[in-house]
Amino acid sequence: MRFSAVASALGLATVASAQVTVKVGATSSDAGGIFQFIPNSINATNGTVVTFEFTGVPGNHSVTQSTFADPCDPIAGGFDSGWVLIPSQPSETPTWNLTITDTSKPLWFFCKQLLPGPHCSAGMVGAINAPTSGNTFESYQNNAKNFKGNSGQGEGALVGIGASASAGPGPITGVVQAFTASPVASSAASGASGASGASGSGTASSSAAGSSGTAAGNGAIGVTANAFVGLISAVLGFALA
CB of 122 to Cu ion, least distance (A): 8
Q: In the set 119, 122, 213, 231, which binds Cu ion (CB under 5 A)?
A: 119
* Parallel, antiparallel or unpaired: strands 95-100 and 41-42: unpaired
User: Out of 40, 66, 113, 129, which residue is the one contacting Cu ion (CB under 5 A)?
Assistant: 113
Q: How far is the CB of 46 from Cu ion (least distance, A)?
A: 27
User: Using CB under 5 A, which of the segments 115-123, 147-155, 186-194, 203-211 binds Cu ion?
Assistant: 115-123
Considering beta carbons, is residue 112 or 203 the nearer one to Cu ion? Answer: 112
Closest distance between Cu ion and the C-beta of residue 111, in Å?
Answer: 3
Q: What is the closest distance, in whole angstroms, from the C-beta atom of residue 24 to Cu ion in the complex?
A: 7
23 binds Cu ion (CB under 5 A): no
**Interacting residue with Cu ion among 63, 98, 111, 122 (CB under 5 A):** 111
* Span 25-64, contacts to Cu ion by CB under 5 A: 61
Of the candidate spans 5-13, 117-125, 136-144, 192-200, the one that interacts with Cu ion by CB under 5 A turns out to be 117-125
Q: Quick check: 72 and 144 in contact, CB under 8 A?
A: yes
The Cα 117–Cα 115 span in angstroms is 4
Which residue is nearest to Cu ion, using beta carbons?
Answer: 111
Q: Which stretch binds Cu ion (CB under 5 A): 45-53, 76-84, 107-115, 177-185?
A: 107-115
List Cβ neighbours of 228 (8 Å cut-off, separation of 6 or more). Answer: 179, 184, 187, 188, 191, 203
Q: Closer CB to Cu ion, residue 26 or residue 48?
A: 26
When the beta carbons of 126 and 183 are compared against Cu ion, the nearer one is 126
Measure the CA–CA gap between 233 and 116, rounded to whole angstroms. Answer: 9
Residue 34 or 48 with smaller CB distance to Cu ion: 34
Nearer to Cu ion, 23 or 61 (CB): 61
Find the part of the chain contacting Cu ion (CB under 5 A) among 39-47, 83-91, 108-116, 125-133.
Answer: 108-116
Residue placing its CB nearer to Cu ion in the complex, 48 or 61: 61
* Site residues (vs Cu ion, CB under 5 A): 61, 111, 113, 119, 124
